[in-house]
Amino acid sequence: MLCSTPMRRAYAFLLLAALGGCARKTDPAWVTVAGKQAGDPTVSGEPAKVGKLSGAITMDGKLDEAAWASASALGPFVDPGSGNEASSPVEGFARIAYDDAKLYIGFVVKDRTPFSPFGKDEVDPHIWEKSSAIEIMIQPGDPGDNRDYYELQIDVQGAIFDTHWDDYNTPISGQGDTKTFGHMQWASKMERAVYVANDSFYSVEAAIPWSSFVPSARTSIPPKSGDVWRIDLYSFRDGQRQSLAWSPIRGQGNFHKSARWGRIKFE
């Protein structure tokens, strides 16, 4: 039997609604990056250049300002073991810049189902065990050893784990819930914001004050133009079973091995 006109209209409306529900919105242009800025110190040779922030940014988790577009791009991230390009649920890249007060790092991660059980204000939760998150490793200067470095993690809820280490994975003390990693009383005091685009990606903005870093005789803090520092950047989820890196480890220890981190040069 043929449908009446009102019935046909209702059917057409439902069909269009269903089709519209299947369509995926187009990601904004800032979610992709052209070219490649590798971090592997045994491949790239020269450090990545990092320039001064060229304008204002709004800390909303979106890397949509012109200042971010002109900031140096680091990545795309690669397999942390082999250094090969990898198909991964945490595909991503970063942008980096600085000014006289802060170091700015922005991430885009193509995690379509990010998860975190933590609240934004929890103190040093074990993000690496349970969350979709990014990680920043920083060693002021380029001393050729593993001493005096910093670890900062931010998950998709904005929770932070941050600590200061004396040497490679040192110190670690205690057991279970009282176990401490590095000097966890240190706080980065960084401003951060996370934006989650459902079923597509999430992005993170981090602004780390130079004043948070412990003064050192080994390098200038804040850095001077021409100074070289060691950093590495990671995206991960599922207890880090899924992970990517800016500079791969290539079987030499774990994410803390500063000899395997990339190098940046402040312009």
Phi, psi (rounded to 5 degrees) for 165 = -110, 145
Q: Where are the domains of the chain?
A: 39-266
Identify the helix (H) or strand (E) that includes residue 14: helix 5-22
- Check: CB of residue 108 under 8 Å from CB of residue 116: no
**pLDDT tens across the length of the chain (267 residues):** 334 444 444 444 343 344 333 334 689 999 998 888 888 887 767 899 999 999 999 999 999 999 999 999 999 999 999 999 989 999 999 999 999 999 999 999 999 999 999 999 999 999 999 999 999 999 999 998 999 999 999 999 999 999 999 999 999 999 988 899 999 999 999 999 999 998 999 999 999 999 999 998 889 999 999 999 999 999 999 999 999 999 999 999 999 999 999 999 999
Residues 121-139: tens digit of each pLDDT: 999 999 999 999 999 999 9
Cα 243 to Cα 248: distance, rounded to the nearest angstrom: 11
- Check: CB of residue 214 under 8 Å from CB of residue 164: yes
Flag whether the pTM goes above 0.85: yes
CA distances from 261 to 43, 89, 122, 142, 233 (A): 12, 22, 29, 10, 8
Give, rounded to a whole angstrom, the gap between the first and last alpha carbons of the chain: 75
How would CATH label the architecture of 39-266?
Sandwich (2.60)
**Looking at residue 25, what is its pLDDT?**
64
**Looking at residue 240, what is its pLDDT?**
97
